[in-house]
Amino acid sequence: MENKKLFNAMGSEVADGFTCKPKNFDANKPIMHLKTQLFICDDERCGKAHKDENIAATLREVLKELNLSKGKNRIKIVRTGCFGACRFRSVANIYENTKINGNINNNGIWLKNIHKYDKDKWKRLFISLKENRTIDDIDEFEQVPMSDPSFYK
């Protein structure tokens, strides 16, 4: 019996035994478009603060519900190691794809206490990012303060 061919989100045929690894390597194929990327700290201290052991997977499901897991407003979730900002745990960093359609005002923002977010708050954040609302203008998304380099002269 022949195996049914699988294709990943980029339209590439998937290698046997995998869910998204392309069967044929193409070094020149672009990566999948994203408008916003959210780096979620998943290291020891931030990871322990979350009640959800797999917060990244949960958030990817929320993005699917909102239809933001693909297309021009795609938001990608990436887990990272320690940012050195543990006292503000849990923390996440927003990266906007300003080369294409990201909002430069939201690029480089650090969110704190994200372990306290419930599903509705995550949805409000994702929708705000999709709509390119400026996060600085929204009080409910507390940010990690960033020091001025002149302080260290």
Given the rule CB under 6 A, which residues bind ligand FES?
41, 43-46, 82-83, 85-86, 89, 91
The least CB distance from residue 7 to ligand FES, in Å, is 36
Q: Which C-beta is closer to ligand FES: that of 4 or that of 51?
A: 51
Q: Please give, one letter per residue, the 3-state secondary structure of 75-95.
A: EEEEEECCCCCHHHCCCEEEE
Task: Classify burial at 68, counting beta carbons within 10 Å of its beta carbon; exposed 0-12, middle 13-18, buried 19 or more.
Answer: buried
Give the E-state strand segments of the chain in sequence order: 36-41, 75-80, 92-96, 109-111
The least CB distance from residue 33 to ligand FES, in Å, is 28
The least CB distance from residue 71 to ligand FES, in Å, is 30
Q: Which C-beta is closer to ligand FES: that of 110 or that of 122?
A: 110
